Structure 1
Amino acid sequence: MRKIVFLPGKHVTERVFLPEHLEALENSGIELIVNQGTANPTSEEAAEWIAGADVVFTSWGCPLLEKAILDRAPNLKLVLHAAGSVKPVVTPELWARGIRVSSAASVLSRGVGETALGLTIVSLKNIWEITQKARTENWWGYRSDGTRSRIREMYGSTVGCIGAGHAGRHYMELLRPYGVRLLLNDPTLTREQADAWGAELVDLDTLCARADVVTVLAPELPETYRMIDAGRLERMKEGATLINLARGSLVDEEALIAELKRGRIRACLDVTVPEPPPADHPFRTLPNVVLTGHIAGAVNNGLHALGRFAMEEYFRFREEGCLAGEVLPSSLNTKA
């Protein structure tokens, strides 16, 4: 490996990579080229920067690595994507040339799984209602009333996980110590695979009907568009919570608004369509909705984990020829 190129604009590189990450690469005996531009690179700029590269680091804001760009780097062996989905940068031309691709999606998804766990706990504990009562009505924990009766502990509750990708698997792993009944919906898994996660593989209708918390962690694909539709929302239990940390398009939001107005269920939404919702949108005013503004994944210091993973991935590839986050073209149609 003789030349490593960072394609992202400087504003992205500085958010994702610590100086020590870049220093470790620079000290490995290679030529390190870091884009110093303050904006996302255009295709023409990417072609200029990539010239002669053996390894390229990409992240948010990088253009598709099309033929005209790749022609400038005939010795390119590896693309390391320090972000989630590689779809914004990869092309069939990459794999046709034998260039390997790695993504930090598994690291990014840890934050999503952790956020899902946190929202599951506070939703079951009825924190949203308790907080408001304690502020305005002198409510306190010893009171026996409707608010207290809606508190549930994790133990013995039923949690539904939709999607067993990186985020879903991490979420299920985090749930293991809590004694929940775990339902899983993912058409790519077998019952034996679900059993290994301590989950019962069920259809989506059954999951929505049985779960106290329904957590959406599936990829955004044509097959998942509005998969949480009016019928499934109506099947949800009285007092259940819908947590969407995937994409807004996976939920029929008009149907969700109608169900929320009935007061039967609650929703914790990290994602919506559009983002952000308009100022007068019901999601902003309904008392049984919590909006978290798309912060479920890596944010602030959490982004440094992506940079570290990508840096370590380079050394794994150089020293052992292996990649922990390799993305194959055959898997793209099931990934976010």
Structure 2
Amino acid sequence: MRIAVLPPPAGQKRLFSARAWEELQSLGTVACNEVEEKPTEDSIAGLITGADIVITSWGTPALTARLLDRAPQLKAVIHAAGTVKPIVTPALWERGIRVSSGNNALAIGVAETALGFTIATLKNMWALTQNMRDGQWTKGRGDVRELYEVTVGVVGAGRAGQHYIRLLRQFQVDVLVYDPVMDAQTIAAHGGTKADLDTLLARSDVISIHAPSLPATYHMFNQERLAAMKDDAILINTARGSIIDEKALEAELRKGRLIACLDVTDPEPTPPDHPLRQLPNCIMTPHIAGAVTNGLKRLGAFAVDEIARLQQGQPLEGEVREEQMAVLA
């Protein structure tokens, strides 16, 4: 079996540990990109020729019909990254080539970051840290809350949302889930209760966004919906910045009613003088929830395991089907 690895050498180093690379080589003949530049259709044409499996990641070009003509026996594309939209073309589906995304591997870090935001913000750690720097001791301690007997709203029960819900099982909390494409029974199996968005906004002490960026979710959190949130509620966004109307959020935060934890913004990065950067009740991180350093190795391990599952005739963990493309991030 010939496996073509399309990311350049620096990308390979970020994605694959020495152990994962050794395991990959045990699965077939590995042909790797040796050009330390962003891959283009022309630069990978020779690499993809005759491949049975292709590994892609961020920055690799779309797999066009012209490229796929060079690999008539191609069985699968394993995407060691999140969304497959940059690499998928209709030609893949037309030829029956399977596609798998590393979203589940990325979702682990996203969910863990959301949980970290949840605990730290309920504990009022951000304000308490500043108070300690200012020589205080008791100021702000009365605003501390535990992750206990509170209601957590999860908007979007995809891979990251599901993992966040699983993490919340360790705590005595109520979990409300808004996901228009997932039924109540499936949500209950994950550990949540299906709710409409209005109910979730009105009842949740913490709201964590895990929805995809789609026309239907653009500015989903607008002025009206932000105003519908409870006083002292926490809004966490580790999904996509476009889901929140940032001008409306700024206005609501200036009232002092809410706390926002934003790992993503629209656009990215925000300008240095952006008002949200200045507000004490807006916690911002530079899009680090998914994977930026050692967590990227999860994606390489995922790709190796996915190829092994393919060879053994097992279901693919990250398989993406054509009919899912319209609702995927």
State the TM bucket, normalised to the shorter chain: over 0.9
Cα distance in structure 1, aligned partners of 2:221 and 2:14: 34
Cα distance in structure 2, aligned partners of 1:167 and 1:27: 31
User: Deviation of residue 85 (structure 1)?
Assistant: 0.9
**Which letter does structure 1 place at the counterpart of 2:24?**
L
Residue number in structure 2 paired with 1:126: 124
8 A contact 2:155–2:178 mirrored in 1: yes
In the alignment, structure 1 residue 16 sits paired with structure 2 residue 15: yes
Residue number in structure 2 paired with 1:293: 286
SS state at 1:262 partner: coil
Structure 1: tracts of 5 or more residues without a match: none
Cα distance in structure 2, aligned partners of 1:311 and 1:200: 35
How is 1:174-213 mapped onto 2 (pairs within 5 angstroms)? Answer: 174-213=167-206
Q: C-alpha deviations, 1:113-157, integer Å up to 9, x for none?
A: 111111101111111111111110322xxx3x6x22321111101
SS state at 2:288 partner: coil
Residue number in structure 2 paired with 1:26: 25
Residue number in structure 1 paired with 2:98: 100
8 A contact 1:106–1:166 mirrored in 2: yes
Q: Which one of 74, 83, 86 corresponds to residue 85 of structure 1?
A: 83
Structure 2: tracts of 5 or more residues without a match: none
How is 1:35-46 mapped onto 2 (pairs within 5 angstroms)? Answer: 35-46=33-44
User: Deviation of residue 221 (structure 1)?
Assistant: 0.8
8 A contact 1:47–1:70 mirrored in 2: no
SS state at 2:154 partner: strand
Q: C-alpha deviations, 1:227-267, integer Å up to 9, x for none?
A: 01101111111111110111110001100000111111111
User: Deviation of residue 196 (structure 1)?
Assistant: 2.1
SS state at 1:237 partner: coil
8 A contact 1:209–1:232 mirrored in 2: no
SS state at 2:267 partner: coil
SS state at 1:177 partner: coil
Q: C-alpha deviations, 1:28-84, integer Å up to 9, x for none?
A: 4x3211101112111111222211111111011100001111111111111111111
Aligned length: 329
User: Deviation of residue 321 (structure 1)?
Assistant: 5.0
RMSD, aligned α-carbons: 1.2
8 A contact 2:33–2:44 mirrored in 1: no
**Which letter does structure 1 place at the counterpart of 2:313?**
E
Residue number in structure 2 paired with 1:314: 307
Cα distance in structure 1, aligned partners of 2:108 and 2:321: 21
- The TM-score normalised by the length of structure 2 is 0.97
Cα distance in structure 1, aligned partners of 2:190 and 2:19: 36
Residue number in structure 1 paired with 2:67: 69
In the alignment, structure 1 residue 167 sits paired with structure 2 residue 165: no
Cα distance in structure 1, aligned partners of 2:192 and 2:16: 36
SS state at 2:265 partner: coil
Cα distance in structure 2, aligned partners of 1:152 and 1:25: 46
Cα distance in structure 2, aligned partners of 1:268 and 1:321: 39
Mean Cα deviation higher: 265-274 or 311-320:
311-320
SS state at 1:255 partner: helix
Cα distance in structure 1, aligned partners of 2:309 and 2:165: 28
In the alignment, structure 1 residue 235 sits paired with structure 2 residue 264: no
Residue number in structure 1 paired with 2:114: 116
8 A contact 1:221–1:334 mirrored in 2: yes
Q: How much identity, in percent, do the aligned residues show?
A: 50
Cα distance in structure 2, aligned partners of 1:25 and 1:177: 35
Mean Cα deviation higher: 188-197 or 118-127:
188-197
**Which letter does structure 1 place at the counterpart of 2:18?**
P
- The TM-score normalised by the length of structure 1 is 0.95
Residue number in structure 1 paired with 2:325: 332
